[in-house]
Amino acid sequence: MPVDMHKNVSVQVDSDFALLLPSGVYEIKKMEPRSKIRTIILFCLFLAIAGIIGFGYFCQDQVCALSKRAVILQSSDMMAYNELQANNNNNNNNNNINNNVGGSTAIASKASAPQNIIANAGLSYEDVLNDDFQFDMDGHDVMVFLHIQKTGGTSFGRHLVRDLDLKRPCECQRQRKRCYCFRPHRNENWLFSRYSTGWKCGLHADWTELTSCVDVELDKNEGETAKRRYFYISLLREPISRYMSEYRHVRRGATWKGSRHWCLGRQATAIELPPCYKGKDWLDVDLDQFAGCESNLAANRQTRMLADLALVGCYNKSSMPAHERDRVMLASAKRNLAAMAYFGLTEYQKMSQYIFEETFNLRFAIPFEQHNATISATAVTNLRPDQRRLIEKLNGLDIELYAFAKNLLFQRFEHLKAKDANFAQRFANLGNIFYKQGVTEFNWDSNIEDALSTDH
């Protein structure tokens, strides 16, 4: 009687993998073991193990810095995020936007897996806390500045290119707002920002755009492919003041029409982002009109620019209910902010400077200035009660994100302070060093500002 060489085996799937399969029970054809197949499998397994060991031994960390951030959630970052999220929930029991944030994000992450694998969000703050960490100018380390409009980013960007005490200072051209920020021994960029590389990924590119663009643009710019370590940095500002500052900027004629709003391989359509005005600009718009445009990206701008927009269908607001979209986008922005190597707050210049210097072991040659009495602050105090309520409602996500950021900034500050045996002296003398010889003086104020494309 012939022998059936195949056996039917029923397998019950009980884990999370069942979510990815149409049903939980499957029939699998199982071949009888054969010595030849065993030999091939063992040989392949040996080659795989040998390859892994060889790659890890011969490939240095600074050259082959395979991103730990390729998967969207890291355990260490999520632990820090969840701890801060719990603290915020205790202080905001009446705010339901935080409920089940982690579950929503995890579900959205599965739906957008290809984008998350492509995105390279750089090394996290947890990575740079290691005692032996050093930002390697001679290696392949790159700072990427995510510049959010009206947060003080222009001033901070200028500090980066002209005020850092470096072996090879950035060389700034008088006729162009561009500086060459090269490594000490070769002409490769260590800084990806407006003033060093230009808007290579689009005008005021956001997290979604930068993480899918920076590596490609640097490869093109330098003519070669390199395994780089990226360190994302950014600034945030108190949301109502930031919103009013953007309103005043737009009222003067700024448009930011050069922004691409790129996500998942395409730009946002005119249907997804209908214009708020006709003509070349929104000159002299009044505040009620400005706040009344539903597609005005000034509302919750900081949350949108820090979030992974692939998780919410990019700019297609019909992809999920509005409340779910807001919840996932806020959770994503908080997670990305918590994972950033550095961020500062406009309202805490000195603290932000100290955190930057201690994080990267770099020193600024001047202290950061604190400008609390701004025109925007005056404009906020002059708002009608109904206008104030509307603007707070429009920026509800940014308000919560800023509270989260402030809490996180103070935690980082206290942690670094506790490690610094000379904190009192260091903090009192921030920026109190002399320029090294060879630093190129550069007067930014002598350049004519283009009011339609520049901001602070």
Q: Which two tokens stand for residue 233?
A: 């940095």
Percent with pLDDT over 70 in the chain:
72
CATH architecture, domain 125-434: 3-Layer(aba) Sandwich (3.40)
Does the pLDDT at position 310 exceed 70?
A: yes
Distance CA 90, CA 98 (A): 11
SS3 letters for 1-31? CCCCCEEEEEEECCCHHHHHCCCCEEEEEEE
pLDDT of residue 119: 53
pLDDT digits (tens, 9 = 90+) for 2-43: 444 444 444 343 443 333 334 443 333 344 455 677 788 888
Place of tokens 């499957």: 26
Segment 84-99 mean pLDDT = 45
CB-based burial, 37-65: b 16+ in 10 Å, e otherwise: eeeeeeeeeeeeeeeeeeeeeeeeeeeeb
> Quick check: pTM over 0.75?
no
Catalytic, 204? Answer yes
Confidence (pLDDT) at 104: 36
Catalytic-role residue among 147, 204, 249, 456: 204
Q: Which of residues 331 and 36 earns the better pLDDT score? A: 331
For residues 279-305, one letter each, b for 16 or more C-beta atoms within 10 angstroms of the residue's C-beta and e for the rest, the string is eebbeebebeebbebeebbbbbbbbbb
Residue 142's nearest CA partner among 79, 67, 86, 70 is 67
Q: Helix, strand, coil shares of the chain as percentages rounded to 5?
A: 45, 10, 45
The Cα–Cα gap between 301 and 207 comes to 12
CA 111 – CA 105 distance, rounded (Å): 10
In degrees and rounded to multiples of 5, residue 445 shows phi and psi of: -65, -15
pLDDT at 332 over 50: yes
Residue, of 13 and 170, whose pLDDT is higher: 170
Residue ranges with strand state E in 199-300: 229-236, 262-263, 266-267
Residue 438: predicted pLDDT: 39
d(CA 286, CA 203): 25
* CA quadruple 231, 151, 257, 172: dihedral sign: negative
pLDDT digits (tens, 9 = 90+) for 402-426: 999 999 999 999 999 999 999 999 9
Q: Match 């806390």 to its residue by tokens.
A: 129
Placement of tokens 């290809």 in the chain:
114
User: Which residue would you say has higher pLDDT here, 251 or 456?
Assistant: 251
Q: How large is the average pLDDT for residues 77-89? A: 47
Rounded to 5 degrees, what angle do the CA atoms 405, 411, 414 make? 140
Residue 200 near residue 217 (C-beta atoms within 8 A): yes
| Mean pLDDT score of the chain | 79
Per-residue pLDDT tens over the stretch 257-309: 889 999 999 999 999 999 999 999 999 999 999 999 999 999 999 999 999 99
Q: State pLDDT tens for residues 191-206.
A: 999 999 999 999 999 9
